[in-house]
Each structure stands twice: as C-alpha cells, then as structure tokens.
C-alpha cells in the first residue's frame, strides 16, 4: 500500500512538471509569435539605457528636441533613428502664423496658436508644431495638425520609454534657434544672448501678454521672482500669465 502511494505521488509530481513545462513552452511560443508580428514595426530605441528626462526641468531647446522625437514616433518618421547620431545638428525656426507655410504647414492652425515651430535635422528630416496653453499640437504628417494635443509629460514619457534622454540633451546642447517671425514679434537673436533665445523659443507672439511681459521685465520695481515666473514656458507649473496683476501672485 505504501509503495502504491509513493508511486502515485511521483506520478502526480511528474504530471505537474509536464504541465508546467507545457505552459512555459506555450508562453514562449506566444512571445515568439508576438515578436514576429511586431518585428516589422520600426524601433525607436535610441540607446540600451539613458538618463531620464524630467518634464518640469526641460530647457526650451530640450523641449524642442523632445517634441521632434515625439512627433517622429507618432508619425512613424525615419528621422527618429538619426537623432542619436554623432555630430547631428538640430535647428529650431520660429514663424508667425501667417508664415506657417514656410514651415511646411498647409492646413489650418489650432485655435489660439500664435507661433509655429519647425524643428529639423541636417539632411535627415523635419517636423513642425505649435503650442496652445499647455498642449503641444504636432504635425499630422499631411500638412495639418493632429486634433489632439499632448502635454510635456506625455511626450517626455515616450522619450524615456525609448531611452532617448541622452541623445535629446546632446541635440539640444548644440541646437541653433532662429526667430523668423515677421509680424513685429521678432526677437534679437544674437548668438550670445541665451536668455533671449530661450524666451523666444517658448514665448507667445507679442500680443497683449507679450507686451505686458516686455513691460514688466523692463520695470525695475517688479519682484524678480515674478519676472522669472512670467518668462517660464506656459506648460511650467510655476508659469504666471504676464497680464496678471504683479501683486496678485503672492
């Protein structure tokens, strides 16, 4: 009787082992099938590992690099694979809405758009986008804009998932910025004037807010912290619209 129980127990263990192995093989098979079904999709991984980007601390040029990467992924653009190449050059051009065609736009701009940005890589590709509030609207790949905007956090998440942080920071470090607006909002774009370049990359056009910002920056009696916050990108949590009463933010 004891021998029969031992034999029975051994048979149960063996059966379980076979069952588990079959599950493992089935899982491996499904992984292989899934892998083969997606092997035709382009890979946007720029490195095996990379520093993670923080959406709250991007510089304007880093933000442009992130937007270009995000737009390339969403529109399945081959230029994405060129963004980690040594010596690659990123150029950021700013256009007035009336000159949007120069950036490649043929469709309507999103309501509220005041600046059109074109980000391009030397001999690799380009894209355009615009900002409305805290939303970035990217090219739809057909001359227009995608209907749904994206936040900086959403775009940074895609970049981090693809280990793109190091490559995008390198691109931003060597990027050139050209303010080509022709509606009276052009900012003096001297190479050594980093502050002006950064502000130009994220500021709205010189409408009421732009004029208020310029006046407040020139006023020596306004709190420096307030000036800092009105010059932040609009999607920054600390950003304050320059049309606000300078004393209301306290």
> pLDDT band at residue 66, thresholds of 50, 70 and 90?
very high
Residue range 105-126: mean pLDDT, rounded: 94
Q: How many CA atoms lie within 13 A of 64 on its CB side?
A: 33
Contact of 99 with 182, CB cutoff 8 Å: yes
- Measured distance CA(242)–CA(43) in Å, rounded: 42
pLDDT at 147 over 90: yes
154 contact partners, CB below 8 Å, separation of at least 6: 70
Single pTM value for the model: 0.61
- Measured distance CA(115)–CA(242) in Å, rounded: 17
Q: DSSP of 28-72, one letter per residue?
A: HHHHHHHHHHHTTSPP----SS-PPP-TTS--HHHHHHHHHHHHH
Of the two residues 13 and 186, the one the predictor is more confident about is 186
pLDDT at 71 over 80: yes
At residue 194, the pLDDT reads 36
At residue 195, the pLDDT reads 39
Mean pLDDT lowest among 7-11, 41-45, 62-66: 7-11
Of the two residues 54 and 11, the one the predictor is more confident about is 54
Of the candidates 70, 118, 65, which has an alpha carbon nearest to the alpha carbon of residue 88?
65
Residue range 154-165: mean pLDDT, rounded: 97
At residue 247, the pLDDT reads 61
Average pLDDT score over the chain = 76
At residue 232, the pLDDT reads 74
């Amino acid at each position: 009787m004891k021998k029969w129980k031992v034999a029975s127990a051994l048979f149960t263990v063996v059966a379980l082992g076979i069952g588990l192995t079959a599950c493992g093989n089935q899982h491996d098979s499904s992984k292989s099938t899934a892998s083969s079904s997606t092997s035709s999709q382009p890979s946007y991984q720029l490195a095996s590992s990379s520093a993670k980007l923080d959406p709250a601390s991007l510089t304007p040029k880093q933000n442009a690099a992130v937007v270009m990467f995000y737009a390339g992924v969403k529109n399945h653009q081959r230029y994405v694979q060129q963004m980690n190449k040594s010596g690659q050059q990123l150029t950021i051009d700013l256009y007035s809405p009336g000159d949007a065609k120069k950036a490649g736009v043929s469709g309507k701009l999103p309501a509220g758009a005041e600046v059109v940005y074109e980000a391009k890589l030397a001999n690799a590709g380009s894209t355009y986008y615009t900002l409305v509030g805290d939303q970035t609207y990217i090219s739809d790949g057909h001359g227009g804009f995608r209907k749904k905007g994206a936040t900086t956090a959403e775009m940074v998440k895609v970049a981090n998932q693809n280990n793109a942080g190091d490559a995008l920071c390198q691109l931003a470090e060597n990027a050139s910025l050209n303010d080509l607006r022709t509606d009276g909002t052009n900012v003096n774009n001297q190479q050594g004037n980093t502050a002006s370049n950064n502000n130009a990359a994220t500021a709205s056009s010189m409408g009421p807010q732009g004029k208020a910002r310029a006046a407040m920056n020139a006023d020596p009696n306004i709190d420096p912290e307030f000036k800092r916050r009105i010059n932040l990108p609009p999607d920054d949590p600390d950003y304050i619209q320059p049309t606000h009463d300078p004393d209301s933010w306290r």
